[in-house]
Amino acid sequence: MDNKVRVRFAPSPTGDLHLGGARTALFNWLFARHNKGVFLLRIEDTDLERSTKEAVEVILKGLRWLGMDWDEGPDKGGDYGPYFQAERKDIYKKYAERLLTEKKAYTCYCSPEELEKKRESALSSGKPPKYDGKCRDMSDEEKKKYAAEGRKHVVRFRSRQEGLTKINDLIRGEVVFDNALLDDFVILKSSGIATYNFAVVVDDIEMKISHVIRGDDHISNTPRQILLYEALGAKLPGFAHIPMIYGSDRKKLSKRHGAVAVTAYEQQGYLSEAMVNYLSLLGWSTSDSQQLFRLDDLVGKFSLEGCSKSPSIFDFQKLEWMNGEYIRSMNIDELALRAEPFVEASGLEVKDRERLKKAISMEQEKIKLLKDIPGLIDFMFKEEIDYEEGVKEKVLSKEGVKEILEGMRDAIRNMKDFNEQELETIIRKYCEDKGIKTSMVFHPLRVAVSGRTKGPGLFVMMGFIGREKVLERIENSLKYLGSSPFCVGKFNSI
């Protein structure tokens, strides 16, 4: 018997790959890789009106960005395709005909209008709106009569109406359903399209899926699927229902909490490694509560035993912190490569990659998102700097600053070697000679050169910008001070 682990991620291509789907895909991928099994991607596109090729591409792109490669599926093929449900109609029809032949399913000619009336009647009586089984034991003569009238029909599964259906869930333990609450659900629509529960079971049997790992919002589907497995004489897979992801208000994660599409996080400058690490902790943990994992470490430690039964809370601040941790530990060559698209998109022109790497390295400790990088380093490359709001009045217009900047300008002009070591020497000597605190020189000089009150180390920043630009920016600040009504007083009044 083949005991090889085979798991699948089976999204519907009706929109973006959301965080919940990405987490489900990740848990399946980690389980397969940990057990040296197969991770299969199947596209469940039976909703023909809402499924699009564009959504398929978005899903594939999101999975690739997260580093989740699939062993079988779109673009890969495999022995159990097709991997699009829309291309598997004949397979579903064959299984439905088998169930009809074995009297485990039946044709139902009830019209949508009749079904709606029955539903309303049940609800008004306080009963669950389940199908009443009108066509369950219909005679062949009645079927022929309805067919002759041109009535469309669906195929319904003949559900067990007594007893219990038990799920030995690998995360939640035993879950029990009363079969009396289940109805004879539709397995083939009048269009010949298979319904979700039927298509999933047929595909999982055909594709030899060993474990079904999915969100616990699917747990109500499981008893119906178990009954189908049993009716088809197929071995049950192991079921594992992972807890939902909630927002900070403990309600199902949605757009009101922030971005839920994986592509949005890529566009904001999150690293795929950080996202995978964070998603892995939504419903799973190690006994020592480890937080940061390399991918191979995750693969080695992942198990369903470590999965929680309780919902997870998506913490945007924690994800951002984790992203910053990854950025700070990243090799500068790789970080610059990842940053380039964001730098280009900002309109900042940096032709020399070595200078880009140097500029980024100066601010690496402060970066939380890749999209932050252009705003942190642009002043080092621009011809003209943008001053922070109010900084000229708060810093440059203080008494004595004009004389300080003039002194700095003259000292920098006369430097023999312009580099960060010499800059520190002459600026500290200037402070010592004038008998003033270094902060009284450092702050206005930083603002004059960068337009900001914070940034990289002053001397390394000035050395990077270069003597010519530093002098030009000091002169521009002096021009502002020359025309400023706030600039009064002498140096010794500081």
Buried (b) or exposed (e) across 143-152, using 16+ Cβ within 10 A?
beebeeeeee
CA 321, distance to chain mean position in Å, is: 15
Cα atoms found within 13 Å of the Cα of residue 211, Cβ hemisphere only: 27
377 contacts: CB under 8 Å, gap ≥ 6: 348, 356, 359, 360, 362, 363
Residue 255 catalytic? Answer: yes
**C-alpha dist (Å) from residue 61 to 56, 64, 262, 266:** 9, 5, 10, 11
CA distance linking residue 418 with residue 447, whole number of Å:
20
Looking at 364-438, which runs of residues are DSSP E strands?
A: none
DSSP 209: -
Rounded to whole angstroms, the Cα distance separating 115 from 104 reads 21
Residue 433 makes CB contacts below 8 A (sequence gap 6+) with: none
Catalytic, out of 152, 166, 255, 382: 255
Q: If DSSP codes are grouped into helix, strand and coil, which group holds residue 105?
A: strand
**HSE value, Cβ hemisphere, 13 Å, CA-based, for 228:** 27
For residue 61, which phi and psi values (nearest 5 degrees)? -65, -40
In the sheet that holds 105-108, the strands lie side by side as 105-108, 154-157, 186-188
User: Who's near 368: CB < 8 A, 6+ residues apart?
Assistant: 320, 321, 323, 324, 327
- Per-residue burial over 468-483, b if 16 or more Cβ lie within 10 Å, else e, is ebbbebbeebbebbee
> Contact 412/471 with Cβ under 8 angstroms?
yes
Q: Which residues are catalytic?
A: 255
